[in-house]
A and B are shown apart, each in its own frame.
Chain A
Amino acid sequence: MTGPELTWTELRIAVTVGTERRALPSGTALPGGVGPPGAGPTPPEQVALHAAALLGAARRAGLRPTAGPPPASMPADEVPAGQPSPAALAVAERVAPDRAVQLLELLLDGNLGRQAAVQPLVAAWLEQAAARELVLPHHLVLSALERGTADRSLQLLVAPALGRRGRWLATWRPEWAWAAGGPRTATAEELLAVEPAERLAAVRAARTADPHHGRTLVEALLPQVDAPGRAALVGCLAVGVGPDDEGVLERALDDRSGPVRAAAIRLLEGLPGSARAARCAHRLAPVVHRQGRFRPTLSVSRPAPPEGDERRDEPPGSEAHWLRTLVAGAPLAWWEQTLGLTPDRIVGLRLDAAGGPPGWEADVVGGWARAATAQRNPAWAVALLDRPELTATHRTELVTALPPPWSPATAEGVLAWLERQTKPGFVVDALTPHLAAALPPAAADRLTAWLARVNKGDDLSLHRSLRHLVQLLSTRQSIVEAFR
């Protein structure tokens, strides 16, 4: 055979369609003049098979790389916006000690319990690392990023431990933006141009990384978006809410939209030093009375309906429960000062129902519970746990709102309450993640003693829950020791 050599493309087209429908180009030769053996005409499919064998082998062996920038990738020498400067990169990072790394591997692999149960231990690990400015080894960076993405409450702790490698990796996926190293430089104007969901994610990420910057974005965006958007923006401030946020929250009370005001009020309830808290206390003062000296009772009469500016402090739809709103909004310390009693004495006061509006005891106790949850007040929370007016959900919220680590008194109060439960196994199990994070090391002895008293046959679920909790506490202790 002579003539030009058969090309791969010609061969592919013919064989794809079928050689009985599409002939190979006539007169073409196989590479190197190789041809099917034997004399006489060869059937076209035979020629094609020989060609596929030869050209295919050449194609495999002749593989060349693609030149030029890879599709949709980032130029290697360009530091993405928001990345630390090259000077910052020069600072050496120290990786957490081997023993600690092994413990974290066990936690992340699910060897020590399901994700939700070990979450507080992961958090404890990250706190230890952060306190010593240590970072994760590279092989754990991806798991940590994925944990933080799935559980927003971990993000503040995960971000510093990621180190340069983790921040670099985080630049590759939008859902990892929260970890990509400081706020991206997206401005309020740029954020207005994107979809609401994406905008909120960006604001949340900015707020997580830098509360001040996040607040600036919220303030800039609030006048320019619709009511649901404004309510969601105010909600973004829940991450690390503090006294610095009072200004923007106070202004949000003037919003036309009910949901926006409700969102602002929810956050202001956590700021007992705010002007709104003082206003609530001011309105409560005339109607709260302590009566009797030796066996004091508490009477609260009907507060005056809100007037004028006072209506700003009322969440929409709360008309029937002004009292509860006011109690929830006032500083808990105000009660202690006004009544001259400690929280457990106040909560234990006999409530004199005579002068109050219908259902007011529930409003007072419910308001205290909301305040204790929002203000994260351990003394009040522990004191309120036994009040019969509260639901199981309220109690769980009271306990889980208390920031770890707990003082010995708080731990004692919560554990004593747990022991008084009729079905403690269920409650212990539900609170395990939080207890594992918050209980002080000394509480392990008390739990072990309790475990010894529980008969496995009588209450298997309590036995299991307590054993698991003791194990988590001892792991937490190992984590602390591994960092020493």
Chain B
Amino acid sequence: MARWTREQVEKLAPDAGSVAAARKLARPGPWSDTGATDTLLWGKCQGSGRTPYQVSVDLTGPAVKCSCPSRKFPCKHGLALLLLWVAGDGDLGRATSSESAQAASAWAAGRAATARSKAAAPRAEPADPEAQARRREQRLATMTAGAAELETWLGDLYRQGLAAARQQPYAFWDTAAARLVDAQLPGLAARVRDLPSRLAGRDDWADVALVETGRWFAAVRAWARRDSLAPDDLGNLRAFLGWAAGADEIRAGAVDEGRLLDDAWVVEGAYRTDDGRLQTRRTWIRGTASGERLVVLDFAAGSEVLAVPRVVGSVVVGRVVVWPGSGVRRAQFVGDDPAGGAGAGSVAGRAGSDGSAARLAGAGSWAAALNDASARLAANPFADQVPLAVRATVVADGVGGARVVDGEGCHLPLAADVDPWPVMARVGPELAPLFAELEDGAVRPLAAELGGELVAL
């Protein structure tokens, strides 16, 4: 169990008065019969009455139980026990045989059982809208403070120069990233952490670093005036910061805001990343009627397994809910559980069985494809990958990389993480309609229309 901080404990408090009262109690004097395991704290606190209060804290929740009559939750006794535990560096003794320990473990076991049965049952209403609103305000304040700190840090970076920053060890970036994690800006944190490795070995590292830090600054500034942003712009920004709305939240207002779309969706391409902590899969879909290109994200943490992928080239008839955003928009099939299986929608067979669906809409020259990409990036400068269709072929460039060449001889580099040979073997020397992601000025082909059929590359 990770070590808690005093700050974390105080954030649990329902109000400032509880914190103050708890601090007064967070000393050994009134306590007896205290103990702790990895997940459980317990103790007896002498209050105003004759019988001391029985206090138990389940750290996995966290959840607090106290025999005092206070209507505040958690009460000052629970908070005090946590503070005492934090101050003692986790040492409360291990009086496991005591009455107090038995009471705590019985309560924790009951909680675990309830949690299991709850998990099976439909989720109950959020406990307390007021508390929720308060937590949200707290989070916003933390994020704002973190963003301001990042702006200062960026100013230092620019004053001292990117060349100097590039000489810094990874720890320099990791430290900055860790502060952003604390500030609940995980998206920015990941970007800061990844930047040094993205720059490694690149001739154009200064361009990449300048573009990327410019985007961070844009995000910081956009956050400062988030109240005046249109909902779509705010959606784009939240995705960039790593605070995208959850699926439940998205579904809640989807009907009123017209964010439910019914269509026959062609699965145009999929790409999986794995940074060791989190696996992410992007699945690009296009509505055959609306022409909308959307991206469905699946996540799996640690050793979890990603949901069964949808087959590239298949058509899924169904309803999606779309996140607020523009240019490159995230969607989810209604009925899919983001952490579970992809089950929603009915698969209407391979694209191409009816002819029209197989065609990659709008596969033309690079000039046309980049005009479209340009419009998407103008609408959403925070998008990392832009979907596009282009009629092109892939040729090796003789130095380990490759270029994606259109019919007019114009070309862009193949993304460095793509092995050119399998793509060349599939696509061949002739031009073919390709579905690809554009990222960092390079192209990552995900599917090709070959013999009238859309196949994954």
Contact = CB atoms under 8 A, between A and B. Distances in A.
Contacts of A65: 366-367, 370, 406, 410-412
Contacts of A173: 396
Contacts of B377: 57, 60-61
18 contacts: A11-B210, A12-B210, A15-B158, A18-B159, A18-B164, A20-B160, A44-B159, A49-B217, A52-B210, A60-B211, A65-B406, A67-B408, A67-B409, A71-B398, A73-B397, A138-B428, A168-B429, A172-B396
B395 A73 contact: yes
A76 B158 contact: no
Given A139-B425, A172-B396, A52 B409 contact: no
Given A45-B154, A76-B405, 6 more contacts: A15-B161, A56-B212, A63-B373, A65-B411, A138-B450, A166-B425
A311 to B, nearest CB: 52
B422 A48 contact: no
Given A53-B214, A65-B406, A142-B425, A70 B395 contact: yes
A19 interface: yes
Contacts of A142: 421-422, 425
A72 B425 contact: no
A165 B161 CA distance: 50
Interface residues of A, number: 51
Nearest to A17: B161
Nearest to A169: B425
Given A18-B160, A48-B158, A57 B214 contact: yes
B372 to A, nearest CB: 11
B120 to A, nearest CB: 38
A292 interface: no
B159 A19 contact: yes
B411 A52 contact: no
B363 to A, nearest CB: 15
Interface string A36-52: 00000001111011111
B210 A57 contact: no
Interface in B86-115: none
A379 to B, nearest CB: 45
A463 B424 CA distance: 44
Interface in B329-376: 366-367, 370, 373-374
B158 A49 contact: yes
Nearest to B393: A76
Contact of A63 (B155, B370, B406, B429): B370
Nearest to B219: A53
A246 B381 CA distance: 73
B395 to A, nearest CB: 4
B238 to A, nearest CB: 18
A74 B395 contact: yes
Interface of A: 8, 11-12, 15-21, 43-46, 48-57, 59-74, 76, 138-139, 141-142, 165-166, 168-169, 172-173
Contacts of B397: 70-73
B155 A46 contact: yes
Contact of B210 (A15, A61, A70, A141): A15
Of listed B158, B370, B373, B408, residue having the most chain A CB within 10 A: B158
Contacts of B421: 142, 169, 172
A16 B215 contact: no
Nearest to B408: A67
B164 to A, nearest CB: 6
B218 interface: yes
Contacts of B395: 70, 73-74, 76
Contacts of B441: 60, 63
Given A65-B370, A73-B398, A59 B211 contact: yes
A72 B399 contact: yes
B161 A141 contact: no
Nearest to B218: A53
Given A62-B374, A63-B373, A71-B398, A12 B381 contact: no
